[in-house]
Amino acid sequence: MKDGGPAFPARVLSGRHIEVIDGRNVSVNDYEPAEGMSLRDWFAGRALSAQYAQCDTDPDKTAKWAFQIADSMLAKREKG
């Protein structure tokens, strides 16, 4: 199943170390990619907030509905 890729791709600080460059101590930050949630998960979460605003809080029904909305949004997005 296509998930739309990462919703908020970013590079996060994974650590800090000190290197000696030209006789000086220099702080160097290491970054690594962090994909986070998928675009499908983001769309489903947004749909969930709308559903709960309508006061239908059956968890199984709501989760199924939210991912149906997310899948429809992804399909529409692919078509352009």
Confidence of residue 11 (pLDDT cuts 50, 70, 90): low
* pLDDT, tens digit (0-9, with 9 covering 90-100), for 19-59: 666 666 556 666 666 777 888 888 888 888 777 666 666 78
Confidence of residue 12 (pLDDT cuts 50, 70, 90): low
Which pTM does this prediction carry?
0.52
Q: Which tokens go with 66?
A: 């939210």
pLDDT at position 45 is 86
14 Cβ contact list (under 8 Å, min separation 6): 30, 31, 32
